[in-house]
């Protein structure tokens, strides 16, 4: 990284209105300092089911380029039926033949009722893709509904502190290139 501005691409694993994961991602986006451009990716629902028999459609190429261009990627996901939400897993399948995630500083929050299975599964996928996702950039937030107010704020100081620590850690990884 040799530029002053840092760009982070935020990806929510949920397409739902009033999604807890998207709410947490929105909170995360506001925790970084001014020299960070935090852009939330909006096109997940437009990515077609993976099939590389023909050239990737423009929406997929654009998704991959967004990851390549970013200095880091920050995921916030729920768990559905004991797994990673299908739309996100499908989008990541398209990146397998690219080097988009190769050594990419990456953070993950899993915000769900329990979430441990999706958390572990996405970490496996991201590791397979070559992402740089050290322990300090991984956070599991179970019982997520009890941690958020109706206005979309974090209720307890401890959860907020953990998220802030994670953001700080991601910035360190970006600037040093080390995990």
Applying CB under 6 A, the span of 2-10, 32-40, 79-87, 155-163 interacting with ligand FMN comes to 79-87
- CB of 105 closer than 8 Å to CB of 170: yes
Rounded to 5 degrees, what are φ and ψ at 85? -50, 135
The 146-175 contact track toward ligand FMN, x by CB under 6 A, reads ------------------------------
* Closest separation in Å from C-beta 163 to ligand FMN: 15
* Closest separation in Å from C-beta 46 to ligand FMN: 18
Where is 163: in which H helix or E strand? Answer: helix 157-176
Instruction: Answer left, alpha or beta for residue 3, where phi above 0 means left and psi between -120 and 50 means alpha.
Output: beta
The 115-144 contact track toward ligand FMN, x by CB under 6 A, reads x----------------------------x
Q: At what angle do helices 58-69 and 86-94 cross, to 10 degrees?
A: 80
Helices in 33-97 by DSSP H: which ranges? 58-69, 86-94
Name which position in 7, 37, 80, 121 contacts ligand FMN (CB under 6 A): 80
Q: Which residues bind ligand FMN (CB under 6 A)?
A: 14, 16, 19-21, 78-82, 112-115, 144-145
């Amino acid at each position: 990284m040799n530029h002053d501005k840092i760009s982070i691409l935020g990806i929510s694993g949920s397409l739902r209105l009033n999604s807890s994961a998207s709410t947490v991602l929105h909170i995360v986006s506001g925790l970084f300092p001014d020299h960070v451009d935090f852009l939330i990716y909006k096109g997940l629902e437009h990515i077609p089911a993976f099939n590389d028999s023909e050239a990737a459609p423009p929406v997929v190429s654009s998704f991959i380029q967004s990851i390549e261009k970013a200095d880091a990627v920050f995921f916030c996901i729920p768990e559905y039926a004991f797994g990673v939400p299908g739309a996100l897993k499908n989008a990541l399948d398209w990146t397998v033949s690219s080097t988009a995630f190769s050594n990419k500083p990456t953070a993950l929050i899993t915000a769900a009722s329990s979430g441990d299975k999706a958390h572990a599964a996405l970490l496996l996928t991201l590791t397979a893709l070559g992402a740089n996702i050290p322990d300090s950039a991984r956070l599991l937030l179970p019982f997520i509904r009890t941690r958020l107010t109706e206005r979309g704020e974090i209720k307890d100081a401890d959860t907020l502190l953990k998220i802030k620590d994670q953001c700080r850690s991601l910035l360190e990884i970006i600037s040093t290139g080390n995990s």
